[in-house]
Amino acid sequence: MTPKPNIRFRSSTYLQAINVLISITTALFLLGLCGLLVLQANQLGKLIKENLEVQVFLQHHLSEPQKQQIKQAIQKRNFVAKNKPIAFVSKEKAAESLKNQVQENFQELLDDNPLHDAFLVKIDPVWYESNEIQKIKQQLEGIEGVYDVSIVENLIQEINQNLTKIGLFFLAFGAFVIFTVFLLIDHIIKISLFAQRLLIRSMQLVGATDAFIRLPFIRQFALQGGLSGLLATLFLWGFLKYLHTQIEELASLYSITHVLIILFALVGIGITIGTWSTFRATKKYLKMPLDKLY
């Protein structure tokens, strides 16, 4: 009589593989979320810097050709953001805006408009370093016809300092998460291999080499680690899409490049930890005395 396949054993093996896959995916999802927060924080800082405007105030009584010459001179500077138009704000428009803010017509008290025409210039975020701000200001003030230049130096310094603090915090937190994820995945794989320790010993008894025994397990858990990294990235992408539908402003922080970075990182980490943990676990059971296997 032909023996029937052990259906219970097969279903147990598949269930165990699914549990390992879910567990590793959950761990990598938490790690990917941490990495995503770091990337999004940097993107947020970059967007804030991109939208900061330097006010270049002009001297009074300049003709239109002179104003255009000043604008062209500003555009030639290498620190000016490319593809970002330089806006012009007349002193009349500035006075009207100030009047709406203070709810008082100061021109009637002064019998004049003391404000200046101004160009609003956006600077490339790369130049927003503490030691470059003064150089930018000096170059703009050196243009003929410029009265004064206003740069929010304190705000820029606070942004740089906060980004540094956020980066250090997430670096430390990320190292902790990576360590925790490694221990978790390592423990999951050890538990999974514990159930197959007798199979490992049986293969030893029939003369199989250590490398021959390890290879199928390493392939299995490396594949599960890589697949878990892929699934974790897909869940992160879906989580991001859901957040964007709830908070539309977050869409400006979204970047397909960030998702690809997280994808390759999680897949690589999953494969690496799966391979390393499997190698260590199989080595343990290959060296373990027979009486300790039971």
What is the tens place of the pLDDT at every residue in 132-145?
Answer: 788 888 888 888 99
A 10 A CB-CB count for 107 gives 16
183: enclosing H helix or E strand: helix 153-194
Does the structure show a pLDDT above 90 at 293?
Answer: no
Give the 3-state secondary structure of residue 80.
strand
> Are 42 and 57 in a shared domain?
no
> Are 231 and 279 in a shared domain?
yes
Structural domain includes residue 163: yes
Q: What is the pLDDT of residue 99?
A: 67
Structural domain includes residue 248: yes
Give the domain-ending residue among 151, 168, 203. Answer: 151
CA torsion through residues 135, 136, 137, 139, sign = positive
Number of domains in the chain: 2
> Are 43 and 171 in a shared domain?
yes
Containing structural domain, residue 256: 7-47+158-292
Q: What is the pLDDT of residue 235?
A: 92
What is the tens place of the pLDDT at every residue in 195-234?
Answer: 777 777 777 778 778 788 788 888 888 898 899 999 999 9
> Are 57 and 105 in a shared domain?
yes
> Are 85 and 193 in a shared domain?
no
β-pair partners for 119: 56, 88
What is the tens place of the pLDDT at every residue in 34-90?
Answer: 888 878 777 777 777 777 888 899 988 888 889 999 999 988 888 888 878 888 888
CB 112 within 8 A of CB 60: no
CA 92 to chain centroid: 43
> Are 60 and 206 in a shared domain?
no
Residue 122, token pair as written in the block: 């956006």
List the CATH number of the domain containing 77: 3.30.70.3040
> Are 84 and 219 in a shared domain?
no
- The C-alpha atoms of residue 148 and residue 202 are separated, in whole angstroms, by 84
CB 184 within 8 A of CB 252: no
Structural domain includes residue 287: yes
Give the domain-ending residue among 107, 123, 151. Answer: 151
Q: Which of 228, 215, 193, 178 is nearest to 18 (CA)?
A: 228
Sheet of strand 53-58: strand arrangement: 87-89, 118-122, 53-58, 146-150
> Are 205 and 72 in a shared domain?
no
Residue 16, token pair as written in the block: 């165990």
Give the domain-ending residue among 110, 127, 151. Answer: 151
Structural domain includes residue 39: yes
β-pair partners for 54: 121
> Are 72 and 146 in a shared domain?
yes
CA torsion through residues 150, 128, 46, 124, sign = positive
CB 274 within 8 A of CB 224: yes
Does the structure show a pLDDT above 80 at 118?
Answer: yes
Structural domain includes residue 1: no
CB 274 within 8 A of CB 189: yes
Q: What does DSSP assign to residue 86?
A: P
> Are 183 and 261 in a shared domain?
yes
CA 60 to chain centroid: 46
- The C-alpha atoms of residue 49 and residue 158 are separated, in whole angstroms, by 11
What is the tens place of the pLDDT at every residue in 5-26?
Answer: 444 445 556 776 787 788 888 8
Structural domain includes residue 2: no
> Are 134 and 166 in a shared domain?
no
Q: Which of 150, 149, 162, 286 is nearest to 215 (CA)?
A: 286
Task: State if pTM tops 0.85.
Answer: no
- The C-alpha atoms of residue 195 and residue 178 are separated, in whole angstroms, by 26
> Are 168 and 59 in a shared domain?
no
A 10 A CB-CB count for 249 gives 7
Structural domain includes residue 65: yes
